[in-house]
Amino acid sequence: MFGKKDHASKIEYDPKVSEPVLKKSICTGETTAGLVDIATGKYHEMRLIANDADLRQFLADCNVSKVRTIY
């Protein structure tokens, strides 16, 4: 019930509409991953990135090799 969530599912998105990004807090350094709408710039948080394994899983789920960072 309170175990670690399984993030093994692929993230479906339209690259013409949204882009996977990392968002870092300039105050706390917390990093989250999500999608940003290209037209509006609105960020949709999807998961917390606590370590390199979380980042690698997010990249694999989005089927990309790198993402840009926003603040």
Rounded CA gap, 22 and 70, in Å?
6
Which parts of the chain register pLDDT below 70? 1-8
What's the pLDDT score for residue 9?
A: 79
What's the pLDDT score for residue 4?
A: 54
Q: Which residue has the tokens 């175990």?
A: 3
pTM: 0.83
Q: Check the CA dihedral 43-45-48-52 and report its sign.
A: negative
